[in-house]
Structure formats: structure tokens, C-alpha cells
Structure 1
Amino acid sequence: MSAERYLIGKSTLDVSLGGLRRNGADVSLRPKSFALLHYLVTHAGRLVTKDELLSKIWPDVIVTDDSLTRCISEVRAALEDSDQTMIKTVSKRGYVFAGPVTLLDEHAVPLPPADGVPEHKTEARRTGWVLPLLGLAAVLAMAGVVWSTAFWRPAALPPRLSLIVLPFLNLSADPAQDYLGDIITDELTTALTQLRGSTVISSSSAFTLKGKPVDIKQLGSDLGVSYALEGSVLRSDGSVRINARLVDTQSAKTLWSDKFDVHRAALLQTQDDIVTRLASALHVELVQAEARRAIGTPVANLDAEDLAMRCEGASYNHGGAVATPNYDLCERALGIDPRNVRALIQLARYYSSRVSRVQSPNPASDLQRADGLVNRALDIDAGYYAAHCVKAVVLEGTHHVRDAVVAAERCLALNPSYAGAYRTLALQYFFLAEPSKMLEYVDHGIRLSPRDPETSIFLLLKGWAYLVMEHDDEALVWLRRAAAASPEIPTILAALTSVLALTGQDAEARATLARYLALPATRTRTVAQWDYVPDENPAFLKFHLRFKSGLSKAGMPEQ
């Protein structure tokens, strides 16, 4: 019988029991982390590439590198390998298990002598008791096997952000129309793999369920996924209706649903938009669902990724407000894992947004903090789309708006379903005073993500675009909508105050100014403090002076 146990440093990896022990105590590892450790140990001393690990540990499942990174971090923590002497990272290639590995078998288990007992007495004690103990061990082992087989089942939870996109049903009578549902299923599966930390069952595996009845709870248990996305396509004479719903596989409850129609004549041109709209909504809903799962757990018992997801989920709930009490969750996450990219980016976004929205108590300090955080995140994962959007806002704050456009375009290229990329690009073209470009990105973003938590920022940017063009009445329409959607965001109320004054609605302008000044998040209280000019092109400077004149007319103090 081949050995099923390995001594690795001070730890014992028992494959047959599926456990890791260190200094006599069990060490908790998730199933995928345990499988990864086993694979590295059995291939110790050589480079194991990332692709090899992904194919061996997650066969038939599409996951991001972040899933691998999290498992590596968990294994290092279990082995107390904080200095990475046992598991070495080979930059951009993979990992090498460089720690000591000793193969153990059932005939020779080395045990250290008990403290204070001479070695010869220890040996005599072993000789006298070894046969009775072996007999007792055999009885207990057999009893354990019987008990575990009859009564015990593993209760491991599925990985975070794990899901399957089930084949979209064709509700039309014509089977030849299956192709649209198949395209949506396949492309949506690919799009959702862009969500950081996601584990997505491959579309080829999902298609084996096509046309078969599915028990959602059983499916979640069998595949080890937390969520399932169901959908349907119904073609009528002039349009196609798309329905989708996200289901929790443990409770079978619907967490989110959406339906929308597209014209049949434009179907080929809008297929990408259909997938992008669904993926954009699901990115938000899945993170919020994971954050809700963690709410019932005391903060002290949450790991870094749980804390970071709660932090990100709270930012969605606040609709983009720049002052919320939940960013301490990201700070706690980084206290546990300084390399947690999600937490790094959420904090960098918070500090850079305060500057961009002209509500920072110390812009230079906030920009420096944001720049350091986003650079750390990009060093860890240069392919994380959201990091490039945050980098764009940092570049904007340091008067490099053209470079910010490049960074935001990189963000969009990495994840076309990320609504934040469209907002960031519209913002940069605002500072470049190119309103037609602003409207292009704003309208595209709203169309693809109509229920986005930061829709009010799209509406604000649309109002800014018309104000740049000096179409003040049209600007007022969109700024009123923005203020109705998010009355707690200071920048929106400041913009509305100025345009109300510029259009001669003085009483409402003064009332809106009073609401602005009363907001807890308001930091900029004088006209002179509105001095944020990332790009000094003549058209933006002209806009900036008009905006400030509106604030003065409404009664904002000059100094």
C-alpha cells in the first residue's frame, strides 16, 4: 500500500483522512486548498505552473488567478509560511514547494521522545505497549470507518462567488431558435469569469443539462456552487424577450431577476449588449449576495476576503457616496492579508473619489494614499480591471488626464461589462471638455447597466456634459434626476445649486445650497475651495468659471 501521509516541516498531511495537523492540532483547510497543497507536496522541488494548477485543481471549471492566489495564501497561513520559504513564488510563472517532505507509511511513524523521559525508557515503554495499542487502534479505526460511512457527510460550503449559468431556455416553438440562448449562455459564462474571485462552471459542462429537469439544491450540492443563473429567450413577431434570475442553490430563493426586450431587427448588433447588461448586473448582485452571507458572522471570525466583500457590498448600497462608515472593513481585511487586492482597490477608490468629487479634507494626502494602494494592487494583479479604473482617477488628480483616459480604456478592454469603466471614461472626457464623448460613454453605460448602484453619477455626468455645451435647461433636467436618485451625494447637489442659479431659479438654488451645506459628507463650503482643475484646457476653464459663478449667485460664501 502506498503511503498516504507526508511530513512537511512541523505539519503532517494525511491524504486518506483529508486533513492537515500541525503540532498535534487539526488545521482547517478548504477542499481546494487541501488539494492544492497535496499537489504541490507530491511535486515538491519543481516549478508547478499556474496553468497546471488551474487544470488539476479546477478541472472543467473556469476560475480566475485570484482563486489560485487565495488558496496559496490559505495554505501558507496553515503552514505558518509567512516568509514564503516553503512555497516559493516564481514571478508570473507559478510556484515551487521548497520545504522538507518526508513520506510516511503505516509501519514507521516517527514520534519524538516525551519531555523528561530518557530515550531508553521511552523505547522500553513502546515495546511493552505496542501490541495492545496496535490492537486497540485497529478496533477504533474500524469503528471510525463504520461511523463515518454511516453517519458523517462533509459540510464544506461551496467557494465564494461560485456559480453555473444554466442553458437559457428557448420558449419559442421553433427548435431552430435555440442558437440565441446558447450564445447567451456561452458568452455570459465567459464574461462572469472576469469577476474577481469567481468560480464558474464551464459552459460545456452546463450544456450537458440542456433540456433536463434540474433540482437547484441538488445541483448546488453536486457541483459545489453557491448560485445558479437561469434564463429564457422568447421570440415574438417584432422583438425578443430575455428573462434571467439568480438563485441561491442552498435555499432555492431568487436573489435577483431581470427582463428586457430587444428588437429582432437589431438582434445581431445587440447580442453583445445583452450579455454585457446581464454580466454587469450580476457582478453587483453576486458581491452583494456574498456580503449578505457574511453579515451573520461576527467580524472577528471573518477572513480577509469576507471582510473585503462586505466592504465592497456596502459601497454599492451607498450608491457611490464618498463618506461611509464601512471602509474600516477593508482596513481590517488588509490587517489580515496585506495583499488582498479587493480591499486595496476599494480603499484606493474611496480616497481618489473624495478628491475627484472635490470633497476631500486633504487632497494631496488622499491622492498619495490612493496611489500607493492602487500600485500595490497592480503589482499583485496587473490584470484586475477595476485597478486600472482607479489608477485613472489617481492620474486625473495629478493632472495627467490623457494618461487617465488610457488607463480607463485598459479597464474597459479587460472587462467590457464593468459599468465603472464607462463612468470613468465619461469623467475624463469631462475634464477634457469633450461633451460628445461624455454623452457617448454615459448613454452606453446607462443602457448596459440601467440598475447600476451609481446610476446617479451617470446622470450627474450627463448634466455636466450639457452644462459644458451651455445647454443649461437640458443640464437642469438631468441634474434634477441625479439629485432625486442620490440626494446624499454632495457633488450632485452642488452642481444642481449652480445650474438653478444660472437659469434664474434663485429661491430653489438657495434652498438646494442649504441642503448641500447640511450634508454630513460635505467638505467644500466656499467657492474658493472649488479649485479642482485636472486639465487646464480653455474650454474646461470656461466651464469651471461659469460653474463657480452659479455657486456665488446662489449665495455660497466666497472664502
Structure 2
Amino acid sequence: MGVDDRAVLRFDDFALDTASGTLRDAHGAEIMLRPKAFALLLFLLERPCVLHPREALLDALWPNLAVTDDSLTQCVGDLRRALGDRATAVLRTVPRRGYMLTTTVLRETAPASAFAPLSSMSAAVPPDGDLLVFEALEPASDDAEAQRFARVLGAELLRTFSRSETILVHTRATHPLPPESFRLSGAVRRGGEEPELSLLLEEADNGRVVWADQLTLPAPQRREEALAVLFARLETLVMGEGLRRARQKPAQALRSYDYVRLGAALYGRGGEAEKHEAEQHFLRAIAMDPGIAIAHAFVAMILMNRVHVAEGHDRAAERHRALDFARQAVELKPRSSFSVAAFAYALARSKLWDTAIENARMAVRLSTLSAIGPRTMAAVALLISGEAAEALLALQPAIALDPFSAAGPRSALGTVLLLTGRREEAAAELRRAAAHLPDFPPCLRSTVVAAVELGRMDEAHEALARLRRIDPDWLGSLREFLSFMRDRQVVERFLNAFAACGEPVMDCVSPSIAADRG
């Protein structure tokens, strides 16, 4: 039973709506569940009438984490309290063996109206994203076929939009709407295999038009890519409006997700000073709302990538902190492609390569084609873990959909192309990245290797000179970079390229790398 499709899972007197992540009783009242209790229930509903050993449940709910049996006992207790008087009839404990869901589970496809209605929500701003109310598409005429087509295309849009990391999509709302939310409406006219779609994005509280456009959608077999591009554009517009608002607010009016917006904008600039300032924003967001997963994931990335470690700290301690933040992000939002990708990256940098590969693959499956951020992190985790070809499959389609991709992902793609033997393409991508982010050490390191292997020594020396200028400890950074790469042939290629530029890099590498090379 897959949960990627929106569904209602009915069991005993309860219904679990996977679209909105809510559990309801026989009267339709929502039952609050902690994240781990929800994950346990979902796991059992997918595998009813089967005895699950405690060890299997611990592995499923806390992958790659060392937790005690008490954690599972507390989780089961939370679930029993939520189920109330029906707990005994629904959930059976087999002493010293495990747990079993003892009721039949019926799966229903969730109708559009089941997609996270707002009737039970207070007029509060969502803590971890922007609220977007998506209204049904208007058909071109009143005939049954036009109405059916509008419903089908609306459902396709919803499936794409609902996988967003930053937008919480609903299909109906009570009034008044929360402040700073958005409304998306539109109409569709069917013209053969290529329907014409008109969309209007407005601020929900005042009706100000943020964006309006009319576009022709391709045939169904090519529609997934087109909808992914459309959604990426919509997501960028909503995030941009949110960032504009956050920058205009006084400090005392900022909410947790405003700090995430401000931090993400700084993080995207790529500099060490900007990343340090971004980290402070993310930590403020966590202090205001400890459950904001995306902030934990960003902090994990910053700590893992930190070039200069503060006095009194070492890189190993920073890595442990980063891994803790990444684990917490996944704990808070286990189906977030961004959180899972950050966890995969932290695992790869910690040399837990096999586990990193599993999580990177999961992050790609959870993401849309246009989700460049998660796919970049997943691709780098795969690259570090020795799966360069798989990294290319994860990242290249996302960048192909967006010709204006940021420099960081393009630099990552350049490195992936380099290590899969496509040197000319790699050099072109690295030049594009450097044009927008000229002082990005990972891009410059890969440029040195690509230029040497292509016989362009002037370009290699120029990149190396810039690397020396922007990072006085570039040899230490290179040593660290090579230390967590799983593929020894990759290490060999980097060492040979820098040696060809006259740098005695063997003097700076760790004994383990030198021993492998010797």
C-alpha cells in the first residue's frame, strides 16, 4: 500500500487522511498525534495483521539512530492514548515479541475536497511555509466533458503542488484567511492534446495580483516536466513575496519562517560571512519553533560545510553537531525531500556511505523534477559515496528544466560531469557557475582538475590562483574534501591535477590517503 498517492485509510472507527496527515474519529473530529506516533500508525496501516518485532519498528521509525526500547514504548503509549477506548481492539501487544494492527484497513483515493480542508484550522500562519489556497479550475463550458477535464487537470496540478517543501496547499478555506497567504485560481480550455491554462496568483487578504499568465500545456506524456517547471516558478514567486515582506518587518514582528526566508537568501550567496549570518537566522527560527524542520536541515548543511572552525572546536565536533541537526530534521518531517537530502549529505561527509546512498535515493524519490535544492544535496551525497553516475541522473534533469539555475547546483553538476568522464561538458558548467559565483572553492577545485585533464593549463593555473587568494587554508580544505571521498580514483585524479600545477599536495594529504595512493 503506497502512501505517495493521496488516500484515506479507514480502519475500525477511524480514518487517516494521508493528504493532510490527519487522523479522525467516527464523528470526523481530528485526533492530534505526535510525529512519531503518526509514523508508527502509518507503518502499521501499510502492513496490517502482521506481527512486527520491536527491532523492526525501531529500525523503521528511527533509521540510523541509536535509541532505546523506551522510545518505542512511549510512541506506542501515545498512539494508544490517541485511539482511546478502541486501542485494545485495534492494536495488540505480543509480550516480548512486538505489536500488531488487528483490524482490516480499507484504502480510498482522496477526493479533491479531502485535500487538507482549512475548516479545522485557526487563522494562524503556517509555521513552516506559506499557505496557498488552490481553487478548482474553471472549465471552458458547462458540458460534462469540459468539467471532467478541468477536474482531472486540477488534480494533476494538486499532485505536483502538494510535494512542495515551502508551500502548504489547501483546496478550500474558511474566512478570514490567515494573513500573508495566497490564492491560486485559473481556467482551462481544451484545444486538442494541448490544453490552454490561465492562472492567477493573488494575495488572499487583499486581492493584490502577484502573477498572472496563460500557457499551453504539452501532451500528457510530457506534462510532468511542464507542471514541474510551472510549480517551480510559482514557488519562486511565493517565496520571493514572502522574502520581500520579511525584509520590511520590524524585528519584533518576524515569525519563525520569516527567519528561514532571510537565512535561505543569505545561504544562497555562498560566502562564509553570509552563511554565518544565515546560521543565526536559522537558529532564531528554531528557538521560536523547535519543530521547524527546514531550519534544522539548513543548520546541518552550514555546519558540515564550514570552512573555518571557531577556536576551541574541531571539525569532528562540527560534523557530529551537523549530523544531529540533520537527524532532527528527518525526525520532524520524515517525508521532506530537503530534510532527507540534508541527512544523506551529512552521512556521506561522515563516511557513512551506504546509509547515505539509501537516504539520497529516498530524497530523489520524494522530490519533484524541479526540486533543485534537495536534488543537489542528494547528488553530492551520491557523488561522495562513489555513485557518480547515479548522481548525474538525480541532478541533470532538474537543471535542464531551469536554464537559470543557481551557481551552486551548476557547480555540483560540473563536478558530477567531470567524474563521469564528460570533461568538456563539465568545464562548460563550471565556467557558468564561476561567472555567477567566482569565489566558490568547490567550483574552483573542480575547475583545476577539468582544465588539467583537458590540457588547458592556463585555465588551471588561473583557477588555482583564485583558490589561493580566496582561501588561505585551501590545502587544508582540499585535504578534508579528499578525506571523505569514497572512490580512491577520484582522490587520485585530484592529486594528479594539482601536482601538475606544481603544488606539492601529497605533503598536505592525510596518512590514510597517502597510504592508499602509495
Q: Could you give the per-residue CA deviations for residues 31-90 of structure 1, whole angstroms, max 9, x where no partner exists?
A: xxxxxxxxxxxxxxxxxx9524996589xxxxx989x9xxxxxxxxxxxxxxxxxxx997
Question: Which residue identity lines up with residue 165 of structure 1 in the other structure?
Answer: F
Q: Which residue of 2 aligns with 1:367?
A: 319
Tell me the distance in 2 between the aligned counterparts of 1:306 and 1:55.
Answer: 33
Question: Which residue identity lines up with residue 381 of structure 2 in the other structure?
Answer: Q
Q: Could you give the per-residue CA deviations for residues 452-496 of structure 1, whole angstroms, max 9, x where no partner exists?
A: 5xx434433332233224342232122112222433422112212
Describe how 1:161-310 pairs up with structure 2 within 5 A: 161-168=130-137, 176=145, 181-195=150-164, 198-202=167-171, 205=172, 226-231=181-186, 244=199, 246-250=201-205, 252-255=207-210, 263=218, 267-310=219-262
- Displacement after TM superposition at 1:274 (Å): 3.1
Structure 1 residue 532 corresponds to structure 2 residue 504: no
Counterpart contact for 1:345–1:390, Cα < 8 Å: yes
Q: Which residue of 2 aligns with 1:152?
A: none
Question: Which residue identity lines up with residue 546 of structure 1 in the other structure?
Answer: R
- Displacement after TM superposition at 1:344 (Å): 1.6
| Match among 418, 423, 427 for residue 376 of structure 2 | 423
Counterpart contact for 1:438–1:465, Cα < 8 Å: yes
Describe how 1:272-421 pairs up with structure 2 within 5 A: 272-316=224-268, 323-352=275-304, 354=305, 359=307, 361=309, 362-416=314-368, 418-421=371-374
Using a 3 Å threshold, how does the CA distance of structure 1 residues 434 and 260 change in structure 2: closer, same or farther? farther
Q: Which residue of 2 aligns with 1:442?
A: 395
Q: Which residue of 2 aligns with 1:460?
A: 411
Q: Which residue of 2 aligns with 1:490?
A: 441
Tell me the distance in 1 between the aligned counterparts of 2:139 and 2:234.
Answer: 21
Describe how 1:32-71 pairs up with structure 2 within 5 A: 51-52=23-24
- Displacement after TM superposition at 1:432 (Å): 4.7
Tell me the distance in 2 between the aligned counterparts of 1:304 and 1:56.
Answer: 29
Counterpart contact for 1:220–1:226, Cα < 8 Å: no
Counterpart contact for 1:527–1:548, Cα < 8 Å: no
Describe how 1:499-538 pairs up with structure 2 within 5 A: 499-519=450-470, 524-525=474-475, 529=479, 531-536=481-486
Unaligned runs of 5+ in 2: 1-20, 39-74, 84-122, 509-518
- Displacement after TM superposition at 1:312 (Å): 3.2
Using a 3 Å threshold, how does the CA distance of structure 1 residues 466 and 448 change in structure 2: closer, same or farther? closer
Q: Could you give the per-residue CA deviations for residues 355-414 of structure 1, whole angstroms, max 9, x where no partner exists?
A: 6xxx46453222111111122333344343322111101110122222112112222334
Counterpart contact for 2:448–2:461, Cα < 8 Å: yes
Tell me the distance in 2 between the aligned counterparts of 1:525 and 1:195.
Answer: 39
- Displacement after TM superposition at 1:286 (Å): 3.0
Tell me the distance in 2 between the aligned counterparts of 1:488 and 1:528.
Answer: 15
Counterpart contact for 2:186–2:200, Cα < 8 Å: yes
Counterpart contact for 1:348–1:390, Cα < 8 Å: yes
- Displacement after TM superposition at 1:177 (Å): 5.9
Tell me the distance in 1 between the aligned counterparts of 2:145 and 2:269.
Answer: 42
Q: Could you give the per-residue CA deviations for residues 239-263 of structure 1, whole angstroms, max 9, x where no partner exists?
A: 5665655332345444456776654
- The percent identity for this pair of structures is 19
Tell me the distance in 2 between the aligned counterparts of 1:551 and 1:164.
Answer: 54
| Match among 547, 550, 554 for residue 494 of structure 2 | 547
Using a 3 Å threshold, how does the CA distance of structure 1 residues 301 and 226 change in structure 2: closer, same or farther? closer
Tell me the distance in 1 between the aligned counterparts of 2:133 and 2:282.
Answer: 28
Counterpart contact for 1:165–1:185, Cα < 8 Å: no
- Displacement after TM superposition at 1:322 (Å): 8.0
Local SS of the residue matching 2:482: coil
Using a 3 Å threshold, how does the CA distance of structure 1 residues 461 and 375 change in structure 2: closer, same or farther? closer
Counterpart contact for 1:220–1:249, Cα < 8 Å: no
Tell me the distance in 2 between the aligned counterparts of 1:484 and 1:161.
Answer: 32
Q: TM-score, normalised by structure 1?
A: 0.59
Tell me the distance in 1 between the aligned counterparts of 2:308 and 2:215.
Answer: 40
- Displacement after TM superposition at 1:518 (Å): 3.4
Counterpart contact for 1:498–1:554, Cα < 8 Å: no
Counterpart contact for 2:360–2:382, Cα < 8 Å: no
Using a 3 Å threshold, how does the CA distance of structure 1 residues 405 and 280 change in structure 2: closer, same or farther? farther
Local SS of the residue matching 1:529: helix
Local SS of the residue matching 1:416: coil
Tell me the distance in 1 between the aligned counterparts of 2:404 and 2:80.
Answer: 39
Q: Could you give the per-residue CA deviations for residues 264-310 of structure 1, whole angstroms, max 9, x where no partner exists?
A: xxx22223333333334444443443333222222244343432343
- Displacement after TM superposition at 1:446 (Å): 1.9
Select the structure of larger CA radius of gyration.
Answer: 1
Tell me the distance in 1 between the aligned counterparts of 2:360 and 2:267.
Answer: 20
Local SS of the residue matching 2:455: coil
| Match among 421, 424, 429 for residue 473 of structure 1 | 424
Tell me the distance in 2 between the aligned counterparts of 1:374 and 1:527.
Answer: 22
- Displacement after TM superposition at 1:347 (Å): 0.7
Counterpart contact for 1:525–1:557, Cα < 8 Å: no
How many residues get paired?
402
Counterpart contact for 1:339–1:380, Cα < 8 Å: yes
Tell me the distance in 1 between the aligned counterparts of 2:435 and 2:198.
Answer: 29
Unaligned runs of 5+ in 1: 1-48, 59-63, 69-87, 97-155, 207-218
Using a 3 Å threshold, how does the CA distance of structure 1 residues 546 and 333 change in structure 2: closer, same or farther? same
Q: CA RMSD in A?
A: 4.4
Q: TM-score, normalised by structure 2?
A: 0.63
Local SS of the residue matching 1:532: helix
- Displacement after TM superposition at 1:165 (Å): 2.1
Using a 3 Å threshold, how does the CA distance of structure 1 residues 199 and 509 change in structure 2: closer, same or farther? closer
Tell me the distance in 2 between the aligned counterparts of 1:322 and 1:223.
Answer: 32
Q: Which residue of 2 aligns with 1:15?
A: none
Tell me the distance in 2 between the aligned counterparts of 1:220 and 1:494.
Answer: 54
